[in-house]
Structure 1
Amino acid sequence: MSLEWFFSDFFAEWNFLALPLWLLLIVLMSLVALAVTGQWKGIALTLPLIIIALYALFYLLLGIGALVIISVSGRLLLAFLIITLSNGGVIQATRMQKSARQRRYKVDLHKRAFYKRLPHAVVAMALSSLIVKATLWDDPSKRWLLADLIQKEDVPGKLTLAPPLARLLDDASHLNASYVAEIRSPRTVAEVIHAVKDAQANRRSISLSGIRHSMGGQALGMNTLHLDMTYLDTVRYNPTDQIVSVGPGATWKQVQTVLAQHGRAVRVMQDSNIFTVGGALSVNAHGKDPQYGSLIESVSSLSVVTADGVERRYDPIHTPELFSAIIGGYGLLGIITEAHLKTTSNNTYAFSLIPIQTHDVIATMERYSKNPKIRLLEAHLSVDQEHFLSESLIYAYAEADTRTTPKDELAGENNIWLRKVVFQLSRASNFGKIFRWEMEKRVGPLVEPATLSRNTAMAVPVRFLQNPDPTTTDILQEYFIPVRQTNAFLENYARLLKKHRILLLNVTIRKVLKDTSALVSYAQEDMYGFVVYYKVQHNSVEKEKLNAFTRELFDYLLSIKATYYLCYGSYYSPAQLTTMYPHLSTLIALKAKYDPNSLFTSVWFEKNRDALLSKHA
């Protein structure tokens, strides 16, 4: 009965019978059988029977799963009959096998010693692990089967979950592919200016990207000259004013690596350090430090190449209008070529994990965020069916009283196999979600260091999220909810998820302080950001289901004066967009003034151009 429950749950969210996965299971069973018996011929002869048994099990489990459409009384009767027959058959088969084995192999079993079977078992387990890793858990590149198990100092190139650069360009969602006319990767400001002049001469628009984790179409273009900015990535630290000057293509990891040498750290950045600074500025990213606001507050000045091919410098004092519009302006007003960022001390933090019921999580986070010693703060919510959004874990990092700072660990993307396995299990079944939650709640505090540096705490791995299933994708969204509306939001959010049957993988909550510095601000008051992951099948039905869910959710967000992070999928209507972000009309007015020919564009801008222009008019 336990096996039936496990397998029926594991396959509950699979829409088809995947032959490679069944073959994998057959190979694993064969290796285990070989380790126990050492009989090559016998195992080879029984493989057809194993295949038949697996298919029978599959259809039996489909039958059990189909019970949900039958009445309760009929369901109980059929379940009783199926379980009785199946378990009765298992008991009888076990008895027959035991009797035959005792008669046939009594002498042989006595001869077999543990030390003779141990090498077989070790080899079987090793091969099984590699097969599982190569087939299910590894990233699609399959560069090296042991890459996730061995800690390395660094990984060449910039890590991204988006497809490789190509004229058919796509982002990390794998849902927004568009053809670009040409791709260039400038390494100097002169090359950027040259590209702008070429585009003007050829009457072609320019689109920009970093590692393409903005999923709303802002990092893509249609028939554009596309600039891959990842090679413009210099990082220079000035100890006099404690300002770090950064190229737009530099990742936060590159910035952290330089700052760590001077005992400094980043003030505001996303939860992982793989993202580029230029991309973070274009969406005005926020972090999880409740003492700092969004990224714009950490920027002292910017260098930008504008539509006339000239590099200019902007800051909040001398050029406040364009400074506030460029940061969070989604690349529509120019190309950021360098940012000058304020830094903070790379202090030592003490980590604590606080289990709590979700109805108390916001009040607790509010109390923690007002404590100046709490420097990083977020909460995770349970997503399994039994505890759906009802349990929470608060991650708190408080300044520790110590004279020594632990060594920075910034290369955490290499040894993440276990994380990947656990997250993949949670993609596949409710059992996996329960297992992941229990691991996070009970094992997490045991393996997390008690003290760590700020740089380490802000270098969360992200590659374990890579989805090896080509038939599905993970959709990331974020909603900013006013503090007073958060508990009501959670109730309505859970209701909408169940109504539209959306598969939720993860929910993270972070405090977001009021931001009036950015023109297109997503936090006009203190809010909580709900970062969520959904699993979506690559088919029109599932995509439309997500569209319908997000449109209805958007109406609710508007009713409570909440906002949706525009750097994620644009599932909203043009009217919803302009109502939620009225300052977009000012951004479009500035674009008409400083970029009248729309040299800088994106798929997102082209999709919403008419609505934005009509609102401006």
Structure 2
Amino acid sequence: MWFVKRKNSWILFVLFILICIAIPLFHIMKTKWNENNHHTTIPVGYTDDASQLNLTKIDSIIPVSEDPEEMIKQLREVIHYAKKYHLKISIAGARHSMGGHTMSKDGLVLNMLPYKHMHLDTVTNVLTIGAGALWRDAIHYLDGYNKSIAVMQAFSSFSIGGSISVNGHGWQANSGPIASSVISFTLMNVEGQILTCSRDQNTELFHLVLGGYGLFGIVLDVSLQVVENIPLTYHYLRLSPEHYVESYKKFVLDNPRINMAFGRLRISDKFFLEEATLTFFEKGNDKIELLREQADKKIESRRLVFRSSVNSEYGKRLRWNLETGLNNILKNQVFSRNDLLNDDVSLIENRDSLSTDLLQEYFIPERNFNHFIEGIKPILKRTSIDLLNITIRAVNRDRDSFMHYAKEDVFGFVFLFNQRKTKEQEEEMKILTNQIFDEVIKNEGTFYLPYRLHIDQTKMRKAYPQATSFFEQKLKYDPDEIFSNKFYEHYK
């Protein structure tokens, strides 16, 4: 009798384990089966951006030459052509902006991606790189010198020129936006002249172009400060959002050995915005273990776990549990800095052609961190737009960009939403964005400009009072408005 009971207990235990594995596995695989993998084809004579909501008729897309001399000649011809036929010029790289920043109706689009040469000065640790290069190109190149990008965004699939034009920021600890690492750049202006812009040369243009959305000319070559590709040890905390700021100060700011850091908020209905994680990487002396995601299966598994959270409370809880479990496993493991930087946006790729993923970001001063979270809770709970993620990144005050979003040290709240491609959801997203923006202004914050144009001119100037002067400077340097895009046309 005792033996039978023990045997039955083991059978029940095994069945329990199998069910615990089978249910989440089935949920994740169901996500895979339901994906239609249909890629929207952009018609000839049109272009779009990462939003998949900006299909725009254009005159033509012009890939630039990869040869510097040929490209300069080509660009001068394009500018002359645009002036002659009264066309607008927009500048595009990897096209990850979402508000029509790389296009203007019936205009010309410069595809800068072919221009991606690079050279490292090993004495000054300055990388000079073509604006069309992707960050992953730079990372692979710098690997050979055991060097690393000083400041860059979370994904390496963005272009250098694009990141300069939006003045992106990353998760490098105690750091400002990308502008802080820019030594200089060359710019072709509306007259076809090539100007070197730095903190000492053409200073006004230097500040305007960093975060200037391609409105003052064409960025050609960028000189960036680089750092050592050091080994970094993984650390992780689970905590209440109420204690996030004090924990960030204690574990990140007060430890000069911390090199990179970011946080996340829990977004499942259960414990909504009531739990957080803080992940940070400490400089160590250990030998770097090559823990790169070399297998496509690992990347695909991570993508499917992320996608399985779309419109699914179970999926959101599962993802949180799997990610926090993985964080515990990774504790104290060592990565190279370049490996951490070299993530591709394909890790979260949406393969459902009926919906699109949209980013928003808001920058909040430390003193209002918790007030902002409490303010957005009821707003996010009411909406039918599906919230997929909130990441937190600290950004130091920006002293370089004219259109600065970090006018003091701030925390950036990066929201990722999944939106259906319908008029109803687009209208609801516009309402949601404005409701969040109102909370941002209450909390003395700003919003990031590379995303959907749902904020009107008046509200935008509440966050960016310098905008009027910015657009006046635009007309000073480009009086005929040859360089243009939907962002400019919406806010000017």
TM-score (norm 1): 0.71
Which amino acid in the other structure matches residue 485 of structure 1?
Answer: N
Corresponding residue of 2:102: 219
2-structure distance, mates of 1:370, 1:572:
37
Gaps of 5+ in 2: 1-25, 66-70
Deviation at 1:317, TM superposition (A): 1.3
Deviation at 1:448, TM superposition (A): 7.4
1-structure distance, mates of 2:222, 2:291:
24
Distance 1:511 1:588, change over 3 A: same
Residues 167 and 178, structure 2, Cα contact 8 Å, conserved in 1? yes
Counting only pairs closer than 5 Å after superposition, residues 85-234 of structure 1 correspond to structure 2 as 135-136=33-34, 139-140=37-38, 166-187=44-65, 188-234=71-117
Quick one: which of 168, 178, 194 aligns to 1:311?
194
Corresponding residue of 1:400: 284
TM-score (norm 2): 0.89
Deviation at 1:167, TM superposition (A): 2.5
**SS of aligned partner of 2:308:** helix
2-structure distance, mates of 1:355, 1:140:
38
2-structure distance, mates of 1:298, 1:410:
28
**SS of aligned partner of 1:515:** coil
Q: Confirm whether residue 603 of structure 1 aligns to residue 481 of structure 2.
A: no
Corresponding residue of 1:429: 312
Q: Confirm whether residue 387 of structure 1 aligns to residue 265 of structure 2.
A: no
Superposed CA deviations along residues 342-364 of structure 1, whole A, max 9, x for unmatched, are 10111000001211122212221
1-structure distance, mates of 2:176, 2:188:
26
Deviation at 1:163, TM superposition (A): 6.7
Q: Confirm whether residue 575 of structure 1 aligns to residue 473 of structure 2.
A: no
Corresponding residue of 1:281: 164
Gaps of 5+ in 1: 1-127, 142-161, 610-617
2-structure distance, mates of 1:364, 1:530:
17
**SS of aligned partner of 1:604:** helix
Decide which moves more: 267-276 or 315-324: 315-324
Counting only pairs closer than 5 Å after superposition, residues 349-364 of structure 1 correspond to structure 2 as 349-364=232-247
Residues 139 and 466, structure 1, Cα contact 8 Å, conserved in 2? no
Distance 1:510 1:307, change over 3 A: same
Distance 1:413 1:225, change over 3 A: farther
Q: Confirm whether residue 258 of structure 1 aligns to residue 141 of structure 2.
A: yes
2-structure distance, mates of 1:185, 1:524:
36
**SS of aligned partner of 1:607:** helix
Corresponding residue of 1:102: none
Corresponding residue of 1:124: none
Residues 235 and 332, structure 2, Cα contact 8 Å, conserved in 1? no
Deviation at 1:588, TM superposition (A): 1.3
2-structure distance, mates of 1:355, 1:180:
49
Distance 1:412 1:570, change over 3 A: farther
Superposed CA deviations along residues 39-83 of structure 1, whole A, max 9, x for unmatched, are xxxxxxxxxxxxxxxxxxxxxxxxxxxxxxxxxxxxxxxxxxxxx
1-structure distance, mates of 2:29, 2:304:
13
Counting only pairs closer than 5 Å after superposition, residues 467-486 of structure 1 correspond to structure 2 as 467-486=350-369
2-structure distance, mates of 1:290, 1:601:
34
Corresponding residue of 2:396: 513
Which amino acid in the other structure matches residue 401 of structure 1?
Answer: N
Corresponding residue of 2:15: none
Deviation at 1:457, TM superposition (A): 1.0
Superposed CA deviations along residues 78-109 of structure 1, whole A, max 9, x for unmatched, are xxxxxxxxxxxxxxxxxxxxxxxxxxxxxxxx
Deviation at 1:432, TM superposition (A): 0.4
Superposed CA deviations along residues 491-520 of structure 1, whole A, max 9, x for unmatched, are 011111123343211000010101122100
Residue identity over aligned pairs, in percent, reads: 27
Distance 1:138 1:262, change over 3 A: farther
Deviation at 1:196, TM superposition (A): 1.5
Q: Confirm whether residue 538 of structure 1 aligns to residue 416 of structure 2.
A: no
Greater fraction helix:
1
The Cα RMSD (Å) is 2.2
Distance 1:253 1:413, change over 3 A: farther
Counting only pairs closer than 5 Å after superposition, residues 232-381 of structure 1 correspond to structure 2 as 232-367=115-250, 368-381=252-265
Which amino acid in the other structure matches residue 529 of structure 1?
Answer: G
2-structure distance, mates of 1:408, 1:233:
28
Deviation at 1:201, TM superposition (A): 2.1
Residues 163 and 172, structure 1, Cα contact 8 Å, conserved in 2? no
Corresponding residue of 2:18: none
2-structure distance, mates of 1:265, 1:470:
36
Distance 1:194 1:448, change over 3 A: farther
Q: Confirm whether residue 585 of structure 1 aligns to residue 468 of structure 2.
A: yes
Residues 27 and 308, structure 2, Cα contact 8 Å, conserved in 1? no
1-structure distance, mates of 2:488, 2:120:
35
Deviation at 1:214, TM superposition (A): 0.6
Q: Confirm whether residue 460 of structure 1 aligns to residue 338 of structure 2.
A: no
Residues 291 and 372, structure 1, Cα contact 8 Å, conserved in 2? no
2-structure distance, mates of 1:600, 1:317:
25
1-structure distance, mates of 2:354, 2:484:
30
Which amino acid in the other structure matches residue 268 of structure 1?
Answer: V
Distance 1:138 1:466, change over 3 A: farther
Distance 1:411 1:267, change over 3 A: farther
2-structure distance, mates of 1:129, 1:475:
24
2-structure distance, mates of 1:344, 1:172:
30
Deviation at 1:525, TM superposition (A): 0.5
Q: Confirm whether residue 561 of structure 1 aligns to residue 459 of structure 2.
A: no
Distance 1:523 1:495, change over 3 A: same
Residues 366 and 411, structure 2, Cα contact 8 Å, conserved in 1? yes
